[in-house]
Amino acid sequence: MSTQDTGKAIDAQLSRRRFIKGCSMAAAALGLSETMVPKLVEAAASPQRPPVIWLHFQECTGCTESLLRASHPDIGRLILDIISLDYHETIMAAAGHQAEEAMQASIEKNKGKFICVVEGAIPTKDGGIYCQIGGRTAMDILADVGPKAAAIIAIGTCASYGGIQAARPNPTGAVGVRDLIKDTPIINIPGCPPNPVCFLGTVLHYLTFKRLPRTDQLGRPLFAYGRKNHDQCERRPHFDEGRFVEQFGDEAHKQGYCLYKVGCKGPQTYANCPVARFNDVGVWPVGVGHGCIGCTEPDFWDTMTPFYERLPGVTIPGGGQGIVTGADSIGKKILGVTAAAVGIHAAVGIGKKVIKGNTSERAEDK
Amino acid sequence: MQYTRHPAWSVLLRLFHWCFVLSIVVLVTTGFYIHFPWTNTMIEGSSSFPVATMRYIHFIAAFVFTGALLARLYLLLFGNRQERFWDFLPITGRNIKNLGSSVKYYLYLDDNEDHRLGHNALAGIAYFVTFIVACLQILSGFYMLYPESVGWQTWGLKLFGTQQQGRLLHYLFMWYFILFAATHVYIVVWNDIRSKEGLISSIFNGTKFLPEKPEQN
């Protein structure tokens, strides 16, 4: 097996054991058989590492942080070892014009071959002036770099769908990469932050099979986002059995029952959180007693809030501002109005009869 | 005035109506439970599965609802004269005229009813809107029932948005059916009292009573 000497091609601090372990995790996330692990290892250890330009726009760097700050550094280091990271504002040594020159040089050298990773949304309002790097707007940079890439990986919900920047009223006109770039293949790895395993799996899939993984209709790789959290949740039996947390801290909460009634959005969210889990210690929000907030879904700040209720508020148009009310209360209000209308209608009929007598009987008398 | 009996509704239409009624009652009841499961248990190691059971009943009723709607779709196109959509939608001169007189009759502005063997145009509009909402309700329901189906995801995203938005719309559409049912029951009772057509019994026996010489339309 060609994996024998892979230790030389990669970071000496990353032991072969941990390297194989990281590749195996990615293979498991991709749903590949263990016989594929050597192929992944071979691809990951190839001396020809794909150049990566990592662009940061409107973001909090949380995606990068979650990638790098794994409790033991297997995945973060593995990612940094299998790709040649030519430009990444958070971790590169170069600064200022030097950094921009390095980026331009790498783009020109690897035109059509490099992977462009985008982190953060792109503001489009007022010519995109709300996010500028080195005097250029994010729109400009993406329009320049994006089409020259072999593929774009949008990491995080902001780069995928706009994220919190795009939440109503979206003051900067923020959008995701897929709204601006049409001709370059784009993979979305949404999440706030996304699981590093999903990113690693996508990169390794690309290196091993020379093509991007299959995606759903929202551009998310099916191996990670093909199933809903609810359908993989360890608390699912409590849902089916009708054992619910009524409020945080109650006895049912202590027993680890289902969080559906305190607003868990797992039933509406496609992700692999219950399976892949986070931070190498096997945790994920529902596992530690907080409902899923649906962070891998487009517009989740608008459609998943309030986070501790089942359904979002409904905007009633009018008065310029619009009133937001719960779906329940709007239904009940309209029911009240209908009941009132029926009551008035009936009262008019009875009133008319009292005043004028029974007209239909009179008609019959004729 | 003499009234004579005329056949109005086919057996299939009456079957559609009652399947629709029953499935809506079951769907709303179980739907509310699924939306907010008001029972709660701390008993573990049992296997009563209340939420799973409610979902199971909801899905069976949903298929009955779908079947009923497909039957109505067939009747809209190939049913008897009263059941076809051009008999009651305001798309013909006769029906537009009827719409005006029906509105006046319902608002107590005109005591002379424009008798129809089928639906009047006002009711026709309400039923057609209900038909459309029912279609959307079915589509949003299947979108949630088959979350991993590529086909349903393609159409679901176009029509409703994400699963969460589909769920919200599914819930709001349910309120439409509650409102429709309340209004519908009131209006048929009101009509049954006010007119001599025998409207309520017509959905059981399929016949309505019209004045001796019904207008020749």
* CA–CA gap between residue B143 and residue A228 (Å, rounded): 13
d(CA A199, CA A52): 13
| Alpha-carbon distance values, B192 to A86, A178, A184, A342, B164 (Å) | 80, 58, 65, 15, 42
pLDDT of residue A239: 94
- Chain A residues in contact with B39 by the CB 8 A cut-off are 242
Strand order in the sheet with A115-119: A84-88, A51-56, A115-119, A151-155, A186-189
Question: Which residues 67-96 in chain B show a CB within 8 A of chain A?
Answer: none
> What letter would DSSP give residue A215?
B
pLDDT(A24) > 50? yes
Q: How far is B93 from B110, CA to CA, in rounded Å?
A: 20
What domain range is A149 assigned to?
2-224
Q: How confident is the model over A33-66, as pLDDT tens digits?
A: 888 888 888 888 777 788 999 999 999 999 988 8
Residue A160 and residue A67 share a domain? yes
Task: Spell out which residues of chain A touch residue B41, defining contact as CB-CB under 8 Å.
Answer: 241-243
Note whether residue A318 is domain-resident: no
Encode pLDDT of A116-173 as tens digits. Answer: 999 999 999 999 999 999 889 999 999 999 999 999 999 999 999 999 999 988 999 9
ipTM value > 0.90? no
- Whether residue A162 sits in one domain with residue A33: yes
A200 and A348 in a common domain: no
Mark whether A214 and A276 lie in a shared domain.
Answer: no
Share above pLDDT 90 across residues of chain A, in percent, rounded to a whole number: 51
Mutate to test the interface with B, among A227, A345, A348, A356 (most CBs of B within 10 A): A345
Single out the residue of B170, B118, B131 nearest to residue B16, CA to CA.
B131
Sort residue A242 into left (φ over 0), alpha (ψ -120 to 50) or beta.
Answer: left
Asked if the structure places residue A315 within a domain, the reply is no
Give helix B121-145 / helix B93-106 axis angle, nearest 10°: 100
pTM of the full structure: 0.87
The reported pLDDT for the residue numbered A5 is 44
CA separation for the pair A344, A108 (Å, rounded): 76
Per DSSP bridges, beta strands A84-88 and A51-56 are parallel
Check whether the bond before A274 is cis (ω within 30° of 0).
no
CA distances from B98 to B89, B90, B125, B185 (A): 10, 8, 12, 21
Same domain, A346 and A251: no
Which of A74-88, A293-307, A326-340 is most confident?
A293-307
Look at residue A85 and give its three-state secondary structure: strand
> Which residue, A224, A240, A260, sits at the end of a domain?
A224
Residues A63 and A199 in one domain: yes
- The answer to whether residues A62 and A200 belong to one domain is yes
Report the residue of chain A nearest B35, measured CA to CA: A310
Tell me if B130 sits within 8 A of B98, measured CB to CB: no
| Residue A124 maps to a domain | yes
**CB of A280 closer than 8 Å to CB of A71:** yes
A chain contacts of residue B196, beta-carbon cutoff 8 Å: 360, 364
Q: Is residue A317 in some structural domain?
A: no
CB-based contact A176:A154 (threshold 8 Å):
yes
A contact test, residue of B36, B164, B190 with most A CBs within 10 A: B164
Instruction: Compute the distance between CA of residue A273 and CA of residue A269 in angstroms, rounded to an integer.
Output: 10
- Locus of tokens 């409902």: A291
Cβ proximity of A91 and A61 under 8 Å: no
Own/partner contacts of A71-76, CB < 8 Å, gap of 24 or more, are A71/A279, A71/A280, A71/A281, A72/A18, A72/A280, A73/A14, A74/A14, A74/A18, A74/A19, A74/A21, A74/A22, A74/A25, A74/A280, A75/A22, A75/A25, A75/A196, A75/A197, A75/A200, A75/A280, A76/A196
Pair (A137, A237) in one structural domain: no
| Block residue for tokens 């010489």 | B213
Is there a contact between A268 and B162 if contact means CB atoms under 8 Å apart? Answer: yes
Residue with tokens 């509704």: B9
Q: Are both A206 and A233 inside the same structural domain? A: no
Buried b (16+ CB within 10 A) or exposed e, A1-27: eebeebeeebeeebeeebbbebbbbbb
How many residues can be counted in chain A?
Answer: 366
A13 shares its domain with A86: yes
Sign of CA dihedral A123, A125, A130, A134: positive
A236: chain B residues, CB-CB within 8 Å: none
Task: Please tell me whether residue A351 adopts helix, strand or coil conformation.
Answer: helix
Q: What is the enclosing helix (H) or strand (E) of A127? A: none
* Within a domain: A83: yes
Q: What per-residue confidence (pLDDT) applies to A30?
A: 83
Query: Would you say A294 and A269 are in contact if contact means Cβ atoms under 8 Å apart?
Result: yes
Res A357 pLDDT > 70: no
In a domain, A23, yes or no: yes
Same structural domain for residues A103 and A65? Answer: yes
Residues 6+ apart with CB under 8 A from A255: A243, B42, B44
Q: Work out the average pLDDT over A87-94.
A: 85
Does residue A118 fall inside a structural domain? Answer: yes
Domains annotated on chain B, with CATH: 3-38+48-211 (1.20.950.20)
Write down which residue in A202, A224, A246 finishes a domain: A224
Residues A158 and A303 in one domain: no
Whether the predicted pLDDT of A323 surpasses 80: no
Q: How many CB atoms lie within 10 A of CB A113?
A: 11
Q: How far is CA B41 from CA A4, A193, A233, A245, in A?
A: 56, 35, 19, 10
What CATH number does residue A272 fall under?
4.10.480.10
Count of structural domains within chain A: 3
- Tens of pLDDT, residue by residue over A165-196, are 999 889 999 999 999 999 999 999 999 999 98
CATH assignment of the domain containing A61: 3.40.50.700
More confident of the two residues A353 and A154:
A154
Residue of A nearest to B33 (CA): A242
Within a domain: A262:
yes
* Amino acid identity, position A169: P
- The pair of three-digit structure tokens given for residue A232, joined into one six-digit string: 């993989």
User: A145 phi and psi, to 5 degrees?
Assistant: -80, -45
pLDDT at site A8: 46
Domain boundary among A201, A224, A247: A224
